[in-house]
Structure 1
Amino acid sequence: MDMAEGDDEEFGFSRNYFLAKELGGSGKKSTHKLSDIDLVDEQELRAAAANIDPKHEKEVRELMNSYASLYPKWVFELRCGFGLLMYGFGSKKALIEDFASTALTEYSVVVINGYLQSINIKQVLVGLAEILSDQLKNKRRNTLGNWPKGQQPFNSKSVDDLIAFLDGPQGEENDCLVCIVIHNIDGPGLRDSETQQILARLASCSHIRIVASIDHVNAPLLWDKKMVHTQFNWCWYHVPTFAAYKVEGAFFPLILANGNTSQSAKTAVLVLQSLTPNAQSVFRVLAEYQLSHPDEEGMPFDNLYTICREQFLASNQVTLNSHLTEFKDHELVKTRRHSDGQDCLYIPLTAEALGKLLLEIS
């Protein structure tokens, strides 16, 4: 009897399943659309995510301590000419920065945030060359090493010349190393083929060592066999941290949020906080001008330079241009042609977002 009842029940379920499929196919289609979903405000969503209590704190702390015990080995591998590549679940930003601040104190360290939308790789090379030049000058009590007096500044050199300088001759200056920390070497600002080729050539330079992290599952597809084994010369380390991608995720809109002006201002605040006070003040001048002249297409460079000189924010155009280059790299400031043919600077934010931004950085 029990078996018969079970067969009847199974038969009834099957019959209802196919009946439902038949009715569903012939019935009216739903009129609901994805756009009908009432998305939550992004600022509220990020605030809620920030208030989530961390779990397994003791286990995570023990895990991080186990990574710290590897620091001497990592330093040894860097000195031997290898690059360190960190992968695994969770943000590796805090781990790599802790390694750099505690174990790489004898070397100059340059940080590249690959999670930013755009990065000027030429300016990175110029900065590395200037740092190495200072090291060689202090080491030999001479000027600019391979770059004699009278040579043009590094800004005027080509990428090939800069890499040639960083790959200087082996010798007594072999201990002059510059370590590059690259958060998300597979990030949107670095993942194009040309940039990866430049980074690979940079990694093979005698005075350069790289510590990088990857998070995208297809990141290894960025490199061919030569880049992996000869140029980057990676030592792969699986270091899951289970840490939230708070900083990295701040530059990308959340899928369940409506992406309003509050988030745009919040993202800009995070970028500005990483810049110098002078750079923030220059940005404030531009923002206040844009708010007080809403009908204009932007602020002429000459006007900005005059105000910055009066407020002692920039003593020359070179200094001001360096700030503007940094703004443009982070997409905080853009340029467009005025109706009279003059190039003008503007901040690609609404007046509401710009007002909130000024309040935040105050």
Structure 2
Amino acid sequence: NGFFPSITLKAILNSLTCEVLEHEGSFRTPSDQIQFIAQTLKGNPGLRVFLLIHNIDGQMLRGEKTQSALGQLASLPNLHLVASIDHINAPLVWDQFKQSQFNWLWWECVTFQHYAEETSYENSLLVQQTGALALSSLTHVLRSLTPNARGIFRLLVKFQLENKDNPSYTGLSFQDFYQRCREAFLVNSDLTLRTQLTEFRDHKLIRTRKGADGVEYLNVAVDANTLVDFLENEKDE
């Protein structure tokens, strides 16, 4: 369901490999999973798999790599993809190559129904408990930033997760963070980093505070479980 705020490519591939093809074990990358699906279906030409995706242009699915992976699945001879789109400009997501992979047969199926079910996830207990809305918002904001900005944010997220079980952890000092960013070739001056941190602060992604020693400490303003899911998504992308 593309309307669900925590849907990921990994979840779609897992449903195919684990639930449909009954594979036990894990895969290193989404590409490995797609290759397994392709080989399994090729070895079983009589097996027909129908993949139904409601709102394939949903916020969590419209990324370039996700659409590319779905296109690869759709191009498999005995995997049939049935999907709905929500936005009138959704076809702009697909270039000519992806269009040829999906090879859509278009039907207009406007229901004129209210978005009651589609928006129900926003207030569901499941979403509140898993932080799915936070994950959706976080992903949306980060996709609008430069690759360097995303790298800076990931660096801060990883350090915070490494210290999530440390009760005395108060955040990463600006100076330490600046040094880490320089070593990762993400910034070349503290002014560049401060400018980026201001943008994070404007989006309410981070908090800064001064300690008793006068040092500025940085924290990501998102719970640990959501950050773990975020890094998983980034790895899949």
TM-score (norm 1): 0.35
Are 1:198 and 2:69 matched, yes or no? yes
Correspondence for 1:186: 57
Correspondence for 1:269: 125
Are 1:156 and 2:27 matched, yes or no? yes
1:189-243 CA distance string (max 9 Å, x none): 11111211111112112442211111211100000112112x1111100112111
TM-score (norm 2): 0.52
Correspondence for 1:297: none
Contact 2:8 2:61 in 1 (8 A): no
- Determine what percentage of the aligned residue pairs are the same residue: 33
Correspondence for 1:117: 5
Correspondence for 1:322: none
SS at 1:176 equivalent: coil
SS at 2:61 equivalent: coil
Q: Whole-Å Cα distance in 2 between the matches of residues 207 and 340 of structure 1?
A: 55
Are 1:240 and 2:110 matched, yes or no? yes
Contact 2:121 2:127 in 1 (8 A): no
Q: Map 1:1-362; keep pairs closer than 5 Å.
A: 113-134=1-22, 153-168=24-39, 173-229=44-100, 231-251=101-121, 267-269=123-125, 271=127, 327=130, 329=132, 331=134, 337=164, 338-340=166-168
Q: Whole-Å Cα distance in 2 between the matches of residues 130 and 162 of structure 1?
A: 10
Q: How many corresponding residue pairs?
A: 148
User: Cα 1:123–1:169, aligned 2, differ >3 Å: closer, same or farther?
Assistant: closer
Q: Whole-Å Cα distance in 1 between the matches of residues 42 and 12 of structure 2?
A: 25
* TM-fit CA distance, 1:268: 2.6
Q: Whole-Å Cα distance in 2 between the matches of residues 183 and 159 of structure 1?
A: 21
1:230-280 CA distance string (max 9 Å, x none): x1111100112111111223356xxxxxxxxxxxxxx133658xxxxxxxx
Paired letter, 2:87: H
1:298-349 CA distance string (max 9 Å, x none): xxxxxxxxxxxxxxxxxxxxxxxxxxxxx355658x99635445xx8579xx
Paired letter, 2:114: A
Contact 1:120 1:329 in 2 (8 A): no
Q: Whole-Å Cα distance in 1 between the matches of residues 26 and 11 of structure 2?
A: 8
* TM-fit CA distance, 1:166: 1.2
1:150-198 CA distance string (max 9 Å, x none): xxx5423321221111112666722323222111111111111121111
SS at 1:210 equivalent: strand
User: Cα 1:242–1:346, aligned 2, differ >3 Å: closer, same or farther?
Assistant: same
Q: Whole-Å Cα distance in 2 between the matches of residues 171 and 202 of structure 1?
A: 12
User: Cα 1:331–1:268, aligned 2, differ >3 Å: closer, same or farther?
Assistant: farther
SS at 2:11 equivalent: helix
Q: Pick the structure with greater CA Rg.
A: 1
- 5+ long unaligned stretches in structure 1: 1-112, 135-143, 145-152, 253-266, 273-282, 284-326, 348-362
